[in-house]
Structures are given as structure tokens and as C-alpha cells.
């Protein structure tokens, strides 16, 4: 006669073994169906890699087309504009690059050794200089330089962005360079509101000090190399990556090529669809119910969009307050005059001017602009609220003239204003808490769930996103 407590114990052990076996089976890729939510670059690349492991892969995107910020559009004058990201760049990892920048179609693309990025700061456009020149602050430069050189110890933990920057770059450069720049970008009043590392997202990892010769010498020391940039006249071979942009059309051409690849692999792409419900048994997801009530069996779920939609579909209560989100206004122009700058794009850190980033397509596709006489510009503006379209357009055009980006006599041949609400998160302390809480809640809720993309990881840059996905699914 079996002891009842012994039987209960055996049952619990068997259940535990079955759960672990199921988890191993899912991660091993021997199951039949994987579902990827989100049709941006993270979702596209995840679906391609997962098709090597799963019989069926579904890629679900709520918009009518794939691509996310890699999409483009054109007007009646055949002027092409991008929504966000412009370049497709190599990662220098062969397996990734063979998929992302397939040489069979990039032969027809323009190739750049690097992006030509400038910055506008303190009333000056620094062409070809990705990082702010500290000399731009004027009389306090040498005091700031002395503080900068004295900061030789870099800590791993800081209370906030102000603490981090002052202990890395010194008080003068922090208050006169980083404070006005980052407060403009994130629409905050103080650096103390932002988490440490907020400067890394918008080309403010380093600043330019000293002259070119001295910079090359002092950057041999790791402490200074991490916070100090080279000058534009010197570009080391380390980290060399080719950047691609189509000769005709916008960066959305890349999305078209990826769609062809997805279809050829047999990935089922469902655009214009969203997730209504996530079915699960305990910690194992087993089905996805679409907004049209279609049911998809799911052995592995990859989530690349904000987690709030995951919790809602799975019926998980999430008490944390989401991050404060900025609105992005895209202003697309076509002018009759060639831009005065040779930059591909530049960041405007000057709080006296409205633009955040300005893209000059004439420098990306010179042949197109020369033959048509039409010169395209996209201006991105970040704001905490919705902007008045007509007033914003007028201010931005005047700013472009004042910044000496376009000639003062330029005529506007075309303009279109697009508003993207609830876009980029403010990197404040509530964001950090929300991110950590939601990530842990999601991972601890399900065994067969993978979080990918900049919404759900700390990988904000395209190359980092691709590498993370490759390490998860590509090996």
C-alpha cells in the first residue's frame, strides 16, 4: 500500500521534471511554432533566425507594413523621406551581415565608410564633428579642461545623470554643455531628473577637447579615451563599419528586401493585426489569439514591442506606472536650393533652436538631387506636448536659415508634418524603475518568452539589437 504523502511527493517531482523538460525543449527549438510580435528590425531578424529552428514562424505587426522606424514614404513629386533610422550598417559579424546587408542587393546601394554626422551647439554648426567641441563654451573652456583632465576615476554607480557627468567630465563642462543639451532633448529642468547614462543615447558619449595631435596622444589612456573624441581629420581603422543607403528611394527599400527574404523562408507575415489574448498554462505560453479571433499555436514567443501590451493580453496585473513619453514631430521639406552643409545629418543640442535632428538627403543621394533640382530635408522635434503644426513649421524653416543649413532665399516646394505621440521615453528615474519591474515581471511570468528590441532591453542601437538577437537565436 503506497503512502499518500509519498504519492503526492512523487507527483510534484514528476510535474517539476515535466516543466523543466518542456522548457529545455522549447529553448532547444525542437517545437513546431514560434510567434514574433513587432515588425521592426528586431522582429524581422528574430523571425529569420527562428525559421531555422521552427517549422512555423509568425511575424505579427499592427501597422499595414513592416519596418517601424525603417519605413519610408514618397510624395507626388517622387521625393522620398524616411520616418527615422536612415543607414543600414554592417556589424562586422559575418553571420549577421550576410542577412542584414546581403551583397546580392546592396551592390546597387551607396556605401559610406562612416556616417558624416555633425552637431549644432552654442550657435555654431560643427560639420563632420559628431561630438560637441568644448571650446564652444568660450571663456570657461580652460577651467573646464582642467576639471576634465583631473577626473581620472570612473565609477560604476552614480545617483543620477548630473552626478555621473560631473564626476566624468567636470562641473563646468557638465553645466555648460550637457545640462542645456540633455534638458532640451528630454524636456526636463534638471540633470538630476535623469538616470546615469542618459547622455549615451544621443551622440553625447564624448566631447572634443584639445587639438587633434594632443587628442590622439591622450586617448591612448583608457580613462580619457572613454570620454574624449577624435577630431574629424583623424579616423582610426578600429571599429570600421560600412554604412549603406539606397541610390533611389528611402531606407524602406531595405524593408522591402527583408520582406522578400521572409516570404522566401516561409515566415507567415501578418500585418494590420494585433494580439488580443495570450493563452498560457501556468508559466508556459501555448497560444496567441489575434484581434480577429484567429488562434495561433505558440511554442515560443518573442516580444519586441512595449511590455504593457503583453501584460494586457496575458491578463497580468502590472501596478507600476509607465515611463513618461515624448512626442516626436517629423517635418519633411523639399527645397529648391542645395543645403549649405555636407553632413548626412546632425544633432542640434542648442536649446535656442527647435530642431533635434536634421537629415540632409542631398548628401545621401547627390545624383537624385542634382538631376531633379529638389533637395529634401527631414527635421525631428521632440516635445512633451503636441505642437501647433503651422507655427512649428514656420519656426523650423527660420531655424534652418539661422543655422546656415539652407540658403535664406530657399523656396519650399513641398512640406509635410507628421506627429508621432508617445514615442521616445524620458530617461528619468521612474523610467528606470518601470523598466526593471516590467522586465522581471515578464520573464518570471513565462518560461518560453524572449524579450528583444530597444523596447525591452538596454540595446538602443541597431548593431547592439542585432547582436543580442544573434546570440539568443543564431547559434
Question: What's the pLDDT tens digit per position in 145-200?
Answer: 999 999 987 777 899 999 999 999 999 999 999 999 999 999 999 999 999 999 99
Report yes or no: 63 and 269 within 8 Å, Cβ to Cβ. Answer: no
- Give me the pLDDT at residue 3, please: 53
Q: What are phi and psi of 96, to 5 degrees?
A: -75, -50
**Whether the predicted pLDDT of 11 surpasses 70:** no
Nearest 5 degrees, angle CA 442-CA 448-CA 452? 60
**Whether the predicted pLDDT of 8 surpasses 60:** no
- Give me the pLDDT at residue 233, please: 57
Average pLDDT of the residues in 258-273: 97
Report yes or no: 41 and 70 within 8 Å, Cβ to Cβ. Answer: yes
- Give me the pLDDT at residue 343, please: 97
Question: What's the pLDDT tens digit per position in 366-413?
Answer: 999 999 999 999 999 999 988 999 999 999 999 999 999 999 999 999
Residues 444 and 295 in one domain: yes
Of 37-41, 60-64, 430-434, give the lowest mean pLDDT range: 430-434
- Give me the pLDDT at residue 152, please: 87
- Please report, for residues 280, 381, 440, 473, the alpha-carbon distance to residue 80 in angstroms, rounded to integers and kept in the order given: 44, 19, 41, 34
Last-in-domain residue among 194, 209, 227: 227
**Whether the predicted pLDDT of 1 surpasses 80:** no
- Give me the pLDDT at residue 423, please: 80
Average pLDDT of the residues in 330-340: 98
Of the candidates 89, 88, 473, the residue with the CA atom closest to the CA atom of residue 304: 473
Question: What's the pLDDT tens digit per position in 206-252?
Answer: 999 988 888 889 889 999 999 998 876 555 545 578 899 999 999 99
Residues 210 and 144 in one domain: yes
Average pLDDT of the residues in 3-32: 45
| Grid cell for residue 218 | 591622450
Residue 259 lies in a domain: no
Question: What's the pLDDT tens digit per position in 289-332?
Answer: 999 999 999 999 999 999 999 999 999 988 777 788 899 999 99
Average pLDDT of the residues in 107-132: 92
Residue 9 lies in a domain: no
| Strand order through the sheet with 275-281 | 275-281, 284-290, 295-297
Report yes or no: 268 and 56 within 8 Å, Cβ to Cβ. Answer: yes
Average pLDDT of the residues in 3-23: 45
Residues 383 and 419 in one domain: yes
Residue 237 lies in a domain: no
Question: What's the pLDDT tens digit per position in 66-104?
Answer: 998 899 999 999 999 999 888 999 999 999 999 999 888
**pTM of the predicted model, to two decimals?**
0.88
Average pLDDT of the residues in 279-296: 96
Report yes or no: 228 and 130 within 8 Å, Cβ to Cβ. Answer: no
Of the candidates 473, 454, 420, the residue with the CA atom closest to the CA atom of residue 42: 454
- Give me the pLDDT at residue 13, please: 43
Cβ neighbours of residue 444 closer than 8 Å, sequence gap 6 or more: none
**Whether the predicted pLDDT of 23 surpasses 50:** no
Confidence of residue 461 (pLDDT cuts 50, 70, 90): confident
Residue 254 lies in a domain: no
Report yes or no: 413 and 334 within 8 Å, Cβ to Cβ. Answer: yes
- Give me the pLDDT at residue 25, please: 35
Domain count across the chain: 3
The residue written with cell numbers 524579450 in the block is 451
Of the candidates 124, 168, 27, the residue with the CA atom closest to the CA atom of residue 352: 124
Secondary element (H or E) of residue 412: strand 412-420
Report the first-to-last Cα separation within the chain, whole angstroms. Answer: 50
Residue 264 lies in a domain: no
Burial class (CB in 10 A: 0-12, 13-18, 19+), 7: exposed
Residue 10 lies in a domain: no
**Whether the predicted pLDDT of 22 surpasses 70:** no
Residues 277 and 366 in one domain: no
Three-class SS state of 382 = strand
Report the percent of the chain where pLDDT is more than 90. 73
Last-in-domain residue among 425, 446, 462: 425
Residues 145 and 188 in one domain: yes
- Please report, for residues 80, 343, 375, 455, the alpha-carbon distance to residue 368 in angstroms, rounded to integers and kept in the order given: 10, 17, 9, 35
Residues 288 and 433 in one domain: yes
Residues 390 and 317 in one domain: no
Range of the domain at 443: 33-62+271-322+429-474
Of the candidates 381, 453, 384, 454, the residue with the CA atom closest to the CA atom of residue 418: 381
Amino acid at each position: 500500500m503506497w503512502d499518500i504523502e509519498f504519492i503526492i511527493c512523487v507527483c510534484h517531482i514528476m510535474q517539476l521534471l515535466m516543466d523543466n523538460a518542456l522548457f529545455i525543449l522549447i529553448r532547444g527549438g525542437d517545437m513546431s511554432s514560434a510567434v514574433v510580435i513587432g515588425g521592426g528590425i528586431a522582429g524581422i531578424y528574430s523571425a529569420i533566425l527562428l525559421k531555422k529552428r521552427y517549422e512555423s514562424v509568425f511575424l505579427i505587426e499592427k501597422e499595414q507594413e513592416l519596418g517601424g522606424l525603417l519605413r519610408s514614404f514618397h510624395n507626388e513629386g517622387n521625393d522620398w523621406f524616411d520616418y527615422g533610422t536612415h543607414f543600414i550598417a554592417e556589424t562586422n559579424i559575418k553571420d549577421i551581415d550576410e542577412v542584414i546587408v546581403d551583397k546580392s542587393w546592396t551592390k546597387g546601394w551607396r556605401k559610406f565608410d562612416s556616417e558624416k554626422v555633425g552637431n549644432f551647439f552654442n550657435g555654431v554648426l560643427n560639420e563632420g564633428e559628431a561630438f560637441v567641441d568644448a571650446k564652444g563654451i568660450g571663456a570657461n573652456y580652460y577651467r573646464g579642461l582642467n576639471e576634465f583632465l583631473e577626473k581620472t576615476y570612473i565609477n560604476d554607480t552614480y545617483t543620477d545623470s548630473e552626478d555621473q557627468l560631473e564626476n566624468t567630465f567636470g562641473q563646468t563642462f557638465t553645466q555648460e554643455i550637457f545640462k542645456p543639451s540633455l534638458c532640451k532633448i528630454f524636456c526636463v529642468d534638471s540633470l538630476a531628473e535623469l538616470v546615469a547614462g542618459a547622455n549615451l543615447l544621443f551622440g553625447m558619449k564624448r566631447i572634443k577637447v584639445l587639438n587633434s595631435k594632443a587628442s590622439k596622444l591622450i586617448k591612448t589612456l583608457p580613462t580619457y579615451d572613454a570620454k574624449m573624441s577624435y577630431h574629424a581629420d583623424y579616423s582610426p581603422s578600429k571599429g570600421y563599419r560600412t554604412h549603406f543607403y539606397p541610390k533611389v528611394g528611402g531606407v524602406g527599400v531595405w524593408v522591402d528586401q527583408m520582406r522578400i527574404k521572409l516570404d522566401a523562408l516561409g515566415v507567415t507575415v501578418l500585418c494590420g493585426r494585433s494580439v488580443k489574448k495570450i493563452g498560457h498554462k501556468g508559466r508556459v505560453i501555448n497560444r496567441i489569439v489575434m484581434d480577429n479571433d484567429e488562434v495561433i499555436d505558440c511554442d515560443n514567443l518573442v516580444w519586441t514591442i512595449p511590455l504593457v501590451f503583453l501584460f494586457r493580453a496575458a491578463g497580468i496585473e502590472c501596478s507600476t506606472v509607465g515611463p513618461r513619453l515624448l512626442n516626436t514631430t517629423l517635418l519633411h521639406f523639399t527645397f529648391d536650393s542645395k543645403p549649405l552643409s555636407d553632413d548626412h545629418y546632425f544633432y542640434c543640442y542648442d536649446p535656442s533652436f527647435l530642431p533635434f535632428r536634421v537629415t540632409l538627403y542631398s548628401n545621401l543621394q547627390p545624383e537624385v538631387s542634382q538631376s531633379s533640382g529638389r533637395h529634401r530635408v527631414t527635421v525631428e522635434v521632440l516635445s512633451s506636448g503636441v505642437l501647433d503644426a503651422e507655427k512649428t513649421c514656420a519656426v523650423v524653416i527660420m531655424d534652418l536659415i539661422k543655422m546656415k543649413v539652407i540658403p535664406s532665399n530657399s523656396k519650399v516646394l513641398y512640406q509635410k508634418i507628421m506627429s508621432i505621440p508617445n514615442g521616445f521615453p524620458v530617461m528619468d528615474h521612474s523610467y528606470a524603475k518601470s523598466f526593471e519591474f516590467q522586465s522581471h515581471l515578464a520573464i518570471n511570468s513565462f518560461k518560453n518568452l524572449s524579450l528583444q528590441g530597444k523596447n525591452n532591453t538596454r540595446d538602443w542601437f541597431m548593431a547592439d539589437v542585432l547582436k543580442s538577437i544573434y546570440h539568443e537565436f543564431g547559434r
